[in-house]
Amino acid sequence: MNGQFETLVLRRKFFFTIANDSKEYERDVIPTENFLEELGKRRMDVFTFLERKWCCPIPNPSKSWIRANDNIALLKVTSYDEWWRSIGKKTRNMIRKAEKSGIRTDTAEPNEKLAEGIWKIYNETPIRQERAFPHYGVSLETVKKSVPSSQNSTYIAAYFQDELAGFIQLVHGDNITIISQILSLQKHWDKAVNNALVAKAVETCADKGIKWLMYGRMGNHPTLDNFKKSNGCIQFPLTRYYIILSRKGKIAAKFGLHREIKDVLPQSVKYPLIPIYNWIGRTKMKIRLDLKRRKMV
């Protein structure tokens, strides 16, 4: 049980605390009575977790658990050739374009050279996909510490000449491999770097016998959703469970506060609000950078 608490993430929402396991996509999370009792002792009000239906559906979920719809972008990998035939002509042409433009992809060792390349990508621009980029301004030392050397993680790099043009970090879990990050230099976006990276990720999974490749969720970024679909991902429905642990948790659930606002809003309402959300994020980033420059003067 101690291992479960090592990966527990706590969030304070309004007047209550909600907890989840940060590894919930990578392994099955089935809360035991002892675990829930310990959460109560630690003053947690709500515990939430996913049912990994693609591989390990829960046979008899408790009727007391509150259910909500969730999803992931999921790709079932059989072979690279079958994936290649399943994607559209436009996507295949983008992958060919990357190769003709001089982009080459390969697995990369998680060393200082890779960290330096990732650091340059992080600090190329404060705005990505019309949103404030959270990694902008991070130090090289921080990036070096965040690049793990582990059997549970694989890096795929895209190179243009001798420069790191982009990378994917794959995190390997139980019956799933997750695209944790996929980023490329904006100055090389005309070379379809990200398409080449996804293709190499699929090839790597096929070679390793990995059946399921996950690429985040769908429904919060229309452009990124289209990219995922064009590369063979489907929106795979999941069930998210919420377990109430306290009186505060009951009140929160009664008013629907246990769920994220973005997950409650219908697409017809959420999508028109995304440009406003992005503008707020960009404005905050610009103000922060302006204040930082003034302090340096």
97 and 173 fall within a common domain = yes
Q: Is residue 182 part of a domain?
A: yes
260 and 219 fall within a common domain = no
126 and 63 fall within a common domain = no
Q: DSSP secondary structure string, 93-158?
A: HHHHHHHHTTEEEEEE--SHHHHHHHHHHHTS-SEETTEE-TTTT--HHHHHHHS---TTEEEEEE
Distance CA(156)–CA(167), nearest Å, equals 6
43 and 98 fall within a common domain = no
147 and 165 fall within a common domain = yes
Confidence of residue 32 (pLDDT cuts 50, 70, 90): very high
Q: What are phi and psi of 11, to 5 degrees?
A: -130, 135
How many CB atoms sit inside 10 A of residue 10's CB? Answer: 12
Asked if 80 and 203 touch (Cβ cutoff 8 Å), the reply is yes
Q: DSSP secondary structure string, 49-68?
A: EEE-TTT---SS--TTSEEE
176 and 66 fall within a common domain = no
183 and 206 fall within a common domain = yes
Q: Is residue 275 part of a domain?
A: no
Report the number of distinct structural domains present in the chain: 2
101 and 167 fall within a common domain = yes
pLDDT of amino acid 269:
82
Distance CA(156)–CA(193), nearest Å, equals 12
Q: Is residue 157 part of a domain?
A: yes
SS (H, E, C) 174-217: CCEEEEEEEEECHHHHHHCHHHHHHHHHHHHHHHHCCCEEECCC
Q: Is residue 280 part of a domain?
A: no
Structure tokens, 108: 């990369």
49: which residues sit within 8 A by CB, 6+ positions away? 20, 21, 24, 29, 31, 240, 241
140 and 80 fall within a common domain = yes
What average pLDDT score do residues 159-169 get?
96
Q: 21 by DSSP, 3-state: which?
A: strand
CATH of the domain at 229: 3.40.630.30
Q: Is residue 279 part of a domain?
A: no
Given a cut of 80, whether residue 296 has pLDDT beyond it is no
Distance CA(13)–CA(7), nearest Å, equals 19
The amino acid sitting at 219 is G
What average pLDDT score do residues 171-179 get?
97
User: Counting Cβ atoms within 10 Å, is residue 238 exposed (0-12), middle (13-18) or buried (19+)?
Assistant: middle
Given a cut of 70, whether residue 126 has pLDDT beyond it is yes
Structure tokens, 52: 């990994």
pLDDT of amino acid 19:
97
Given a cut of 80, whether residue 251 has pLDDT beyond it is yes
- Give the structural domain span for 120: 74-234
Given a cut of 80, whether residue 1 has pLDDT beyond it is no
242 and 228 fall within a common domain = no
Bridge partners, residue 221, by sequence: none
Chain-centroid distance of CA 129 in Å reads: 15
55 and 85 fall within a common domain = no
Of 274 and 90, the structure prediction assigns the larger pLDDT to: 90
Q: Is residue 288 part of a domain?
A: no
What average pLDDT score do residues 48-65 get?
95
What average pLDDT score do residues 268-295 get?
87
Q: Is residue 256 part of a domain?
A: yes
147: which residues sit within 8 A by CB, 6+ positions away? 110, 111, 114, 115, 118, 155
Q: Is residue 297 part of a domain?
A: no
Given a cut of 80, whether residue 150 has pLDDT beyond it is no
245 and 230 fall within a common domain = no
